[in-house]
């Protein structure tokens, strides 16, 4: 990708607003600034000015900010034009920049240039998009920690420790005939154990951050009229779904994101599963089956007044293997006696009795969901905003480090031991972008919004 040309894009969301921003980045922006602003603004100082099109006509009046290289977000010269935030004004201002020699920026290209100019490493660059996309306050705080370099610093500490250890091992290989002991067996054991512990801590924090970033998908399934929509409304804290006494009211999948202790949970209310000749209801049930395939956890709702029915067991048998399951016995407010806690589909099944109408048992259900996904509230403040590629790299590094530890017991195969350390270091370095393929960079930054 060419980095010497000038790029421009609208950096504020589509729609109407008090202020809109057009961002320009590249080399030699003075000529572009002269055409649009009429001067080169004083560096890092807001200048009230008129913006003009290619014919010299005034488009708008606003603020111009100029950041010389390398003291800018991208590491290049950056010009930010802040005008009135109407779509027509922003489009005219962007068109003026394009006429003055810029080209339209690709998604994420400003942040890509910041990465290529060493303003951010790859993990920090990804956290920019994660901060924008954060759906909860806890996720936003986690993303800003990664943007400030906490995740990258933890990775650098691991890489440096591996580098130091590899240096000693490689020296032992290079001078094997000199009878010089560069590292004792005990010191090697201590270093490896410390590395394993550090890596496990980083991986644990990354898993917590991944939950904050991705959330978890939960499908509410069951027979018609067992209270799936009522439970959705109770968990969401608002009337999201229509609730009636008529079975089969829900025909389509309803998606609602809720937050429990800062963790986003994607709730999917589905059509009731039963035998029917209704064509539309059949379509709804087909979508239910598709939704279940996407979910990580299934809440199987049953009517606590009648217990587990053959129809409930048939639904359970139809679920994909390996899904985590909670059986929710709903409508406890209508029971004439205490619920029978011995009722269960299987001995290992998690059963929770609730009333979606009154809220009884909802707190216990929420807590059980967090436990099931592995959320640790105490780890939230130290979590790193991690993507799947980060988890995969950390897991690969852990695998190679474990293999190195196994080889270290005898050190008969020092070359293999050194290679496992090298592979562990390579996996970790891919997180911060020290070793990254161009196609990976293209995939990562293509998911950014335009203007960032």
If DSSP states are collapsed to H, E and C, what string results for 72-124? Answer: CCCCCEEEEEEEEECHHHHHHHHHHHHHCCCEECCCCHHHHHHHHCCCCCHHH
Enumerate residues 6+ apart whose C-beta is below 8 A from 125. Answer: 111, 112, 114, 115, 433, 444, 445
For residue 360, is pLDDT > 60?
Answer: yes
* Annotated binding-site positions for Mg(2+): 229, 250
Which residue is it, tokens 């589909």? 345
Share of the chain above pLDDT 70, in %: 82
Enumerate residues 6+ apart whose C-beta is below 8 A from 12. Answer: 19, 20, 21, 85, 90, 451
Do 328 and 318 touch, CB atoms closer than 8 A?
no
* Annotated binding-site positions for GTP: 225-230, 244-250, 269-272
Closest CA to 387 of 438, 425, 434, 443: 443
CB-based burial, 436-446: b 16+ in 10 Å, e otherwise: beeeebeebbe
For residue 9, is pLDDT > 60?
Answer: yes
For residue 436, is pLDDT > 70?
Answer: no
State the pLDDT at residue 71: 93
Confidence band for 313, pLDDT divided at 50, 70 and 90: confident
Confidence band for 434, pLDDT divided at 50, 70 and 90: confident
Q: Can you tell me the mean pLDDT for 230-242?
A: 78
- The CATH number given to 7-119 is 3.30.1360.120
For residue 65, is pLDDT > 90?
Answer: yes
Mean confidence (pLDDT) of the chain: 83
State the pLDDT at residue 247: 47
State the pLDDT at residue 249: 46
State the pLDDT at residue 261: 86
State the pLDDT at residue 102: 94
For residue 339, is pLDDT > 70?
Answer: no
For residue 31, is pLDDT > 60?
Answer: yes
State the pLDDT at residue 390: 93
For residue 180, is pLDDT > 90?
Answer: no
Q: Can you tell me the mean pLDDT for 286-291?
A: 63
For residue 204, is pLDDT > 50?
Answer: yes
For residue 246, is pLDDT > 50?
Answer: no
Confidence band for 348, pLDDT divided at 50, 70 and 90: low
**Which CATH homologous superfamily contains domain 128-211+387-433?**
tRNA modification GTPase MnmE domain 2 (1.20.120.430)
For residue 93, is pLDDT > 90?
Answer: yes
* Annotated binding-site positions for K(+): 225, 244, 246, 249
* Length, in residues, of the chain: 452
Q: Residue 7 burial by CB count (10 A; 0-12/13-18/19+): exposed, middle or buried?
A: buried
- Angstrom distance (rounded) from CA 239 to CA 180: 74
For residue 66, is pLDDT > 90?
Answer: yes
For residue 125, is pLDDT > 50?
Answer: yes
- Same CATH topology for 7-119 and 128-211+387-433: the answer is no
- Angstrom distance (rounded) from CA 370 to CA 67: 46
- Angstrom distance (rounded) from CA 36 to CA 96: 7
State the pLDDT at residue 21: 96
Q: Can you tell me the mean pLDDT for 205-221?
A: 88
**451 vs 37 pLDDT, higher one:** 37
Confidence band for 252, pLDDT divided at 50, 70 and 90: low
For residue 359, is pLDDT > 80?
Answer: yes
**Which CATH class, in words, describes the domain spanning 215-378?**
alpha beta
Instruction: Report domain extents, the chain.
Output: 7-119, 128-211+387-433, 215-378
User: Angle at the Cα of 203 (from 201 to 205), degrees rounded to 5?
Assistant: 70
State the pLDDT at residue 237: 82
- Angstrom distance (rounded) from CA 354 to CA 372: 18
Bridge partners (DSSP) of residue 82 are 21, 63
* Annotated binding-site positions for (6S)-5-formyl-5,6,7,8-tetrahydrofolate: 23, 80, 119, 452
Lowest mean pLDDT among 95-99, 256-260, 319-323: 319-323
Most confident of 55-64, 158-167, 183-192, 308-317: 55-64
Q: Can you tell me the mean pLDDT for 255-265?
A: 87
* Annotated binding-site positions: 23, 80, 119, 225-230, 244-250, 269-272, 452
């Amino acid at each position: 990708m060419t980095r010497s040309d000038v790029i421009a894009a609208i950096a504020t969301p589509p729609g109407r607003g008090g202020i809109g921003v057009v961002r320009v980045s590249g080399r030699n922006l003075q000529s572009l600034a002269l055409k649009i602003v009429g001067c080169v603004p004083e560096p890092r100082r807001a200048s009230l000015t008129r913006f003009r099109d290619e014919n010299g006509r005034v488009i708008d009046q606003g603020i111009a900010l100029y950041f010389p290289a390398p003291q800018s977000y991208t590491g290049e010269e950056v010009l930010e034009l802040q005008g009135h935030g109407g779509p027509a004004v922003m489009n005219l201002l962007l068109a003026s920049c394009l006429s003055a020699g810029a080209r339209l920026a690709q998604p994420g290209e400003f942040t890509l240039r910041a990465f290529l100019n060493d303003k951010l490493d790859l993990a920090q660059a990804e956290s920019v998009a994660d901060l924008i996309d954060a759906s909860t306050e806890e996720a936003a705080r986690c993303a800003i920690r990664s943007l400030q370099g906490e995740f990258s610093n933890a990775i650098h500490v691991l890489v440096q420790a591996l580098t130091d250890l590899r240096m000693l091992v490689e020296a032992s290989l290079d001078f094997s005939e000199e009878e010089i002991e560069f590292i004792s067996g005990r010191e090697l054991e201590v270093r490896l154990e410390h590395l394993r512990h550090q890596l496990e801590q980083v991986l644990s924090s990354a898993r917590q951050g991944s939950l904050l970033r991705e959330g978890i998908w939960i499908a509410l399934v069951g027979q018609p009229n067992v209270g799936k929509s009522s439970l959705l409304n109770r968990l969401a804290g608002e009337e999201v779904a229509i609730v009636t006494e008529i079975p089969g009211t829900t025909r389509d999948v309803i998606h609602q994101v809720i937050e429990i202790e800062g963790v986003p949970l994607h709730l999917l209310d589905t059509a009731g599963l039963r035998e029917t000749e209704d064509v539309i209801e059949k379509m709804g049930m087909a979508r239910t089956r598709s939704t279940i395939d996407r979910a990580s956890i299934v809440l199987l709702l049953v009517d606590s007044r009648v217990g587990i029915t053959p129809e409930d067991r048939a639904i359970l048998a139809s679920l994909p293997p390996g899904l985590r399951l909670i059986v929710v016995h709903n409508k406890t407010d209508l029971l004439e006696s205490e619920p029978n806690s011995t009722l269960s589909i299987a001995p290992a099944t998690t059963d929770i009795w609730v009333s979606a109408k009154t809220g009884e048992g909802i707190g216990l259900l929420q807590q059980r969901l967090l436990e099931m996904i592995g959320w640790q509230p105490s780890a939230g403040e130290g979590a790193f905003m991690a993507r799947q590629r980060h988890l995969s790299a950390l897991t690969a590094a852990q695998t190679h480090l474990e293999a190195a530890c196994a080889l270290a017991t005898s050190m008969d195969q020092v070359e293999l031991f050194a290679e496992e350390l090298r592979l562990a270091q390579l996996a970790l370095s891919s997180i911060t972008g020290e070793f990254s393929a161009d196609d990976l960079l293209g995939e990562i930054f293509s998911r950014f919004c335009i203007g960032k």
